Amino acid sequence: MNAAPGVAGSDEATQERIETLIKAQCYALGFDLAGVTTLGPAATANKFDEWLERGFAGEMAYIPRTAEKRRDSRLPFEGTTHAIVVAMNYGGREPSGPVARYARGDDYHDVMLDRLTQLHRWIEQHVGHSVAGKPYVDTGPLLERDLARRAGLGWFGKNTTLINPRAGSFFFLGALLVDLELQSDPPFVTDHCGSCHRCIDACPTNALVEPHVLDSTKCISYLTIEQKGEIPAEFHAAIGELLYGCDICQEVCPWNEKFALPLREEAFRARPAIAGKDARTVAGELLVMSDDEFRIAFRNSPMKRAKLTGLKRNAKVVLRNVAEHDAHP
């Protein structure tokens, strides 16, 4: 007698059914990509160590401090065996602006962690018992990009982002680590950048020092978010009107020009303090904003990472650049 799919019978048939249902649930929760892979030593561990040795982590001391766990995805949450890796797009079709697209709405950490927690609960209900696991969205010592490639979600672009042939690269990555035997998806083993080097040529600060290698200390996203103290004067002109983060290396990518997805998640839609405003307006308003006004306007915003002091610092650079452009068009 044949067993019902996903309940009993052939282990192989049961496992295939579980993974299919898990991915379907991922899409139902609003994720745009989903894949499964085993945990273990990161294929990029040696490259990661080289990157650290070259000082490209800059002031992000938490990265080298947790390097050992980043080299092996079994270590961040011991006892787990597999990862369900997901991606959620944040609107690559949205227009350019002074704030990078990912930071215009609500904090993606909160949005995705909530969805991954819901996925975890759904899995437990489906299998009928508790499953040890933990969600990660830039919230622990995990190389999510490495896991995503292993789970078949895309390849590493020359601008270091993960690129998917159907969705481009304007998406967040997250992973649910679980102690559950699952059938892995085949890894993404091909590179589709070819001879293109638009991202490298377009970077205003030459932060892409070679294909697939980013010197964070030169990256505008690092300078306007992670940099402590004043931004080195040598980068002021290159920052232009970019107040928080930078999308340039993604905007020029042919895969995004063709396949970037429209914004679907309402939580990532630009908040009133940013929506429809140019660099001069946003920078000017931030420069005179009080702490209380900032807390209200940027509640649940990823921009709070730079704090109001950092945003005021950025605003001064941007307003000087705007003034200089007006004086010398």
Residues taking part in catalysis: 138
Tokens of 68: 């050992």
Task: Tell me how far the alpha carbon of residue 93 is from its chain's centroid.
Answer: 17
DSSP 81-148: -EEEEEEEE--TTSPP-SB-GGGSSS-HHHHHHHHHHHHHHHHHHHHTS---EEEESSSSS--HHHHH
Burial class (CB in 10 A: 0-12, 13-18, 19+), 24: exposed
List all residues 6 or more positions away from 53 whose beta carbon is below 8 Å from its beta carbon: none
Nearest to 259 by CA among 24, 18, 93, 107: 93
Question: Which residue shows structure tokens 């705007």?
Answer: 322
CB 90 within 8 A of CB 263: yes
Residue 176 CA to residue 135 CA, distance in Å, equals 4
Three-class secondary structure assignment of 150-206: HCCCCEECCCCCEEECCCECCEEEEEEEECCCCCCCCCCCCCCCCCCCHHHHHCCCC
Looking at the DSSP bridge assignments, the partners of residue 71 are none
CB 63 within 8 A of CB 118: no
| Cα-Cα-Cα-Cα dihedral sign, residues 127, 133, 139, 140 | negative
